[in-house]
Amino acid sequence: MIEQTLSIVKPDAVRKHVIGEILRRFEANGLRITAAKMLHLSPEAAARFYVVHKDKGFFGSLTKFMSSGPILVSVLEGENAIAKNREIMGATDPAKAAAGTIRRDFGTDVEQNAVHGSDAPDTARWEISFFFGQLETHPG
């Protein structure tokens, strides 16, 4: 099934100058980039995006990190895009991520783990609409 998913190159990976390498891996694995932009979240906006984690112990640290510098948000489209993107990203903790995954290669720790990817169709739809309006996406 053709799906769309939201990807974020997080502030740590932007600081490491690996935006191009990360987007290259998506395209090399058959995912099309149908929307993209760079922005710098405020702490309040990061808290809105990660509202599902508001009761977790790491919430304050996570929103501070996600607002610590610019990010690159994009929409990836393709066959099973949600699962495929998460496979390319690797496990949340870079130390446990498989060899050759983005998080293994560019993540620092379980928080500063280089990328975000939606985890289900309903969260993908919500996350895409959080960042992109209809005129900013170019499906196909």
The catalytic residues are 116
CB of 46 to ligand ATP, least distance (A): 11
- Asked if 126 touches ligand ATP (CB under 6 A), the answer is no
In the bound state with Mg ion, the residue whose beta carbon lies nearer, of 93 and 119, is 119
**Per-residue binding letters, 96-125, with Mg ion (x by CB under 5 A):** -----------------------x------
Cα 79 from Cα 114, distance rounded (Å): 23
Tokens linked to 39: 């922005």
Cα 24 from Cα 130, distance rounded (Å): 24
DSSP-assigned states of every residue in 69-112 = S-EEEEEEEEETHHHHHHHHH--SSGGGSPTTSHHHHH--SSSS
80: phi then psi, degrees, rounded to nearest 5 = 50, 45
**Total residues in contact with ligand ATP, by rule CB under 6 A:** 10
| Site for ligand ATP, residues 84 to 123, rule: CB under 6 A | 92, 110-111, 113, 116-117, 119
| Site for ligand ATP, residues 41 to 80, rule: CB under 6 A | 53, 58, 62
Tokens linked to 131: 């960042």
In the bound state with Mg ion, the residue whose beta carbon lies nearer, of 50 and 137, is 50
Site residues (vs Mg ion, CB under 5 A): 119
